């Protein structure tokens, strides 16, 4: 009798230990999965067969293509939409389906890659310019809005990597819910001749944000950034003038050329109406970030959730930073590369450059209907 009790107690204790051990291993698996998802690994996981089928069926319906159940079943043995499409007779790739007869990207298709964590869609809004205008600050301010998801790094799809294709571009995007908007920023788009046509071919409904700044100050900031990477760079004056005797400005130097905003805007207005643009003042983004962010949120159709309570002015850097988020030990400021002190430049050089930009600025004011007060 005593032996039986001992065996029963042993079995109960053994089962209890096994149960605890099972729970322990289950918790390890769950926490490991959550860790990888939070670090972005889940974004690279293949989407489900159901979602692949949804993705492709939308395109096939557009094209009026039909395949037998056996062909669809065979094609579904692959793990990605791209490889799935290649198994269908007569179709080379997803890009083939997404391109029109003239080999341009189809503007009428915006298919998302979906799973339980949201969808990867083409951006509904893009910060297209300008370099050293305050684009990074604007993006970081926007990213604290719960309804905005944005790519951290600059994709450079419409200027450098267009040949990689539409599927490559969409896969760079973060996953978003239906209530959120997808954004990216690449300031060089504004000064790239091919960018307006390429973006229009993808979607004529994309909202475009241009952060502009006094072109003289912007040119000096641009030079300062390059100088930090290339200490042997010639002086600002020697790069500014094509001929120092005549005072002729060298517009082939990118630091000067970028600031001719009116010229670049003309290229974009050939494809997009002015209503698709929001011109953000880089100066006001520093002096009144909450006010300028209010305009941006209105333009994007967002609730005004980013307000003055989110900002404080950093005297050392000379621009606003985000106040300490909950659960963080310190506030969020832009990196060391932002707010660099500018080198000493002759007032005569700056005055000559300001005179050069004046007519372009006036035209830009007329085109946008906004006087930025640079003159």
CA distances, 368 to each of 225, 288, 335, 340 (Å): 28, 20, 31, 30
Does the annotation place 341 within a ligand binding site? yes
CA dist 189 and 206 (Å) reads: 14
User: How far apart, in whole angstroms, are the C-alpha atoms of residue 265 and residue 372?
Assistant: 15
Active-site residue flag, 20? no
Is 339 annotated to bind a ligand? Reply is yes
To the question of whether residue 76 is assigned a binding role by annotation, the answer is no
156 is in an annotated binding site: no
- 191 DSSP 8-state letter: G
Instruction: Give the separation between CA 131 and CA 258, rounded to whole angstroms.
Output: 8
Residues 6 or more apart whose Cβ sits within 8 Å of residue 116: none
Residue 232 has a CB neighbour count (10 Å cut-off) of 5
Residue 79 token pair: 């793990």
* Pairing, β 148-150 against β 181-185: parallel
Q: Per DSSP, what are the bridge partners of residue 118?
A: 115
**Dihedral pair phi/psi, residue 240, rounded to 5°:** -75, -40
Q: Is 342 annotated as a binding residue?
A: yes
Q: Which token pair is 316? A: 């050392």
Task: Say whether 136 counts as a known binding-site residue.
Answer: yes
Q: Which of 120, 131, 132, 207 is catalytic?
A: 132
Tokens linked to 205:
């409904």
For the record, the structure tokens of 223 come out as 């030079």
Six-digit token pair at 199?
């973006």
Nearest of 207, 171, 151 to residue 44 by alpha carbon? 171
Whether 118 has a binding-site annotation, put simply, is: no
Mapped onto helix, strand or coil, the DSSP state of residue 201 is helix
CA atoms within 13 A on the CB side of 184: 23
Q: How far apart are CA 121 and CA 156, in angstroms?
A: 17
What is the Cα 236 distance to its own chain's centre? 31
Residue 287, marked binder: no
152 is in an annotated binding site: no
Question: Is residue 221 a known part of a binding site?
Answer: yes
Task: Report which of 280, 258, 39 is spatially closest to residue 141, judged by C-alpha positions.
Answer: 280
Task: Give the tokens for residue 356.
Answer: 């050069």
Place of tokens 């060089």: 188
Task: List active site positions.
Answer: 132
Which residues does the annotation place in the binding site for 3'-phosphoadenylyl sulfate? 132-136, 213, 221, 338-342
Which residues does the annotation place in the binding site? 132-136, 213, 221, 338-342
């Amino acid at each position: 009798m005593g032996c039986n009790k001992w065996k029963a107690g042993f079995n109960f204790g053994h089962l209890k230990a096994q149960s605890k051990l099972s729970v322990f291993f289950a918790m390890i698996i769950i926490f490991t999965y959550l860790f990888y998802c939070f670090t972005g690994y889940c974004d690279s996981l293949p989407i489900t067969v159901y979602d692949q089928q949804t993705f492709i069926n939308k395109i096939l319906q557009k094209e009026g293509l039909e395949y037998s159940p056996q062909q669809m079943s065979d094609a579904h043995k692959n793990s990605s939409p791209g490889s799935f499409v290649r198994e269908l007779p007569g179709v080379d790739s997803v890009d083939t389906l997404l391109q029109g007869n003239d080999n341009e990207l189809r503007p009428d298709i915006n298919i998302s890659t979906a799973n339980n964590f949201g969808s990867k869609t083409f951006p509904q809004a893009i910060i297209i310019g300008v370099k050293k205008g305050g684009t990074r600050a604007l993006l970081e301010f926007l990213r604290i809005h719960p309804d905005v998801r944005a790519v951290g790094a600059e994709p450079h799809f419409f200027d450098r990597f267009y040949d990689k294709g539409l599927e490559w571009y969409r896969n760079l995007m973060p996953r978003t819910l239906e209530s959120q908007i997808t954004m990216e920023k690449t300031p060089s788009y504004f000064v790239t001749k091919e960018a307006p046509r390429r973006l229009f071919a993808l979607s004529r409904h994309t909202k475009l944000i241009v952060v502009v700044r006094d072109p003289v100050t912007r040119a000096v900031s641009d030079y300062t950034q390059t100088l930090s990477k290339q200490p042997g760079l010639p002086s600002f004056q020697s790069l500014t003038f094509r001929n120092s005797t005549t005072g002729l400005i060298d517009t082939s130097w990118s630091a000067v050329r970028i600031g001719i905003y009116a010229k670049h805007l003309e290229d974009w207005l050939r494809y997009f109406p002015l209503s698709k643009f929001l011109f953000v003042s880089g100066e006001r983004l520093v002096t009144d970030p909450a006010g300028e962010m209010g305009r941006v949120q209105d333009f994007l159709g967002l609730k005004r959730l980013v307000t003055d309570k989110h900002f404080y002015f950093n005297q050392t850097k000379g621009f606003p930073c985000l106040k300490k988020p909950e659960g963080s030990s310190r506030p969020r400021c832009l990196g060391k590369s932002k707010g660099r002190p500018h080198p000493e430049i002759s007032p005569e050089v700056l005055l000559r450059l300001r005179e050069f930009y004046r007519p372009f600025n006036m035209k830009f004011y007329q085109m946008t209907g906004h006087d930025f007060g640079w003159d």
